[in-house]
Amino acid sequence: MKNGVKLYDTDGNELHAHGGHMLFHNGWYYWYGEDRRDNIYVSCYRSADLEHWEFRCHSLTADSPTAPIRVRSDLALSHEIAGERADIAIVREMGGNRCRVNIERPKVLYNRLTGKFVMWMHYENGMNYHDARCAVATCDTPDGEFTYHGSFNPFGCMSRDCTLFEDGDTAYFISAARDNADLHVYRLSEDYLNVDEQVKSLWQGEYREAPAVFKREGKYYMLSSFCTGWAPNQGKWASADSMEGRWSMLHLFGDETTYRSQPAFVLPVTKDDGEHFYYIADRWNGKQYFDSTYIFLEIQFDEAGNPYIEYADECVLG
């Protein structure tokens, strides 16, 4: 994968998957990410070799099917969802014929209990960033159209930049709370459709965004950026012996702009010589969102197990 350039799918069309995530399922890597064209919110591509990307579908659009679930934290909306206006409320929430909302940083996991693919994302109303909610959608297949289930503030908290991380049968949703000042870690319910418990509130007042979690040799690592809008800043990493345990302080990752990028996710890939980890990021162009590109760098580890990256123009993932 070439860094800092536009990418194209196997049909020769520009690939749109910003703030994204990859899910490995039945031999395929599915790449989900933001697609801001027309009525589209999230698109899905797949690849077996992590080099050639086939467009599969627009996973979520303003016209996607909707089905409310009772996970609201907003009382008024909760009544609307529970009552006969449920469909109207939830269609309106997705934009419908009103205006585009903002769907950012979509992440997808497969839930073995229900057989559903579950997407979590950051939801804003399209006019400002004041709603600060997470939203949930599901699908029976990895590359079908997802059904949108609505948005909420987990336990009443603001929730912006986010990620998902699955550890065995337990999944976690991590998101920026309190106007991005703190990073919350929520253990998900068994069906992955709701938050079960807030298990951590990390780095109080440090304003960390763009969290990305991975596990290597039994240790958990979290990358994140500082909070500077679309402008790049110094990345940092931290580690822990368990997701719900004590996390370390923040250490520098990359250079002062993280090579002009912001984390989207970390991709673990098992090869003949063991497991490799790739830092996959966005190089945003805040003035021209559609000129944003992608960065792929292999994460290396020093003798103490501390992760670091060095810039290269391209990266072989597969």
Q: Which residues bind ligand DGJ (CB under 6 A)?
A: 19, 104-105, 161, 209-210, 229-230, 262
- The DSSP bridge pattern shows strands 307-308 and 208-216 to be unpaired
User: Minimum distance from CB of 102 to ligand DGJ (Å)?
Assistant: 8
Of residues 116 and 260, the one with the C-beta less far from ligand DGJ: 260
Write down the H helix ranges in 6-144.
Answer: 75-82, 86-93
Minimal CB distance residue for ligand DGJ: 229
Q: Which is nearer to ligand DGJ, 72 or 105 (CB)?
A: 105
Measured distance CA(90)–CA(235) in Å, rounded: 36
Residue 105 vs 236, nearer CB to ligand DGJ: 105
The least distance separating ligand DGJ from the CB of residue 176, rounded to whole angstroms, comes to 8
Between 66 and 175, whose beta carbon lies closer to ligand DGJ?
175
| CB 161, min distance to ligand DGJ, A | 5
Nearer to ligand DGJ, 9 or 34 (CB): 34
Q: Under DSSP, is residue 86 helix (H, G, I), strand (E, B) or coil?
A: helix
Shortest distance (Å) from residue 271 CB to ligand DGJ: 30
Nearest approach in angstroms of CB 300 to ligand DGJ is 24
Nearest approach in angstroms of CB 133 to ligand DGJ is 13
Interatomic CA distance for residues 201 and 184, integer angstroms: 5
- DSSP assigned state of 14: B
Q: How far is the CB of 34 from ligand DGJ (least distance, A)?
A: 8
What phi and psi, each to the nearest 5 degrees, are found at residue 129? -110, 30
CA distance to 115, 142, 308, per residue, from 278 (Å): 28, 22, 11
- 239-266 as b/e: b if 16+ CB within 10 A: bbeebeeebeebeebbeebbbbbbbbbb
Closer residue to ligand DGJ in complex, CB, 205/229: 229
Q: Minimum CB separation from ligand DGJ for residue 316, in Å?
A: 27
Q: Is residue 67 left, alpha or beta, with left meaning phi > 0 and alpha meaning psi from -120 to 50? A: beta
- Residue among 3 and 262 whose Cβ is closer to ligand DGJ: 262
The closest of 270, 276, 194 to 27, measured between CA atoms, is: 270
Phi then psi for residue 82, to 5 deg, are -70, -25
For residue 115, which of 88, 92, 140, 81 has the smallest C-alpha distance? Answer: 140
CB closer to ligand DGJ out of 80 and 161: 161
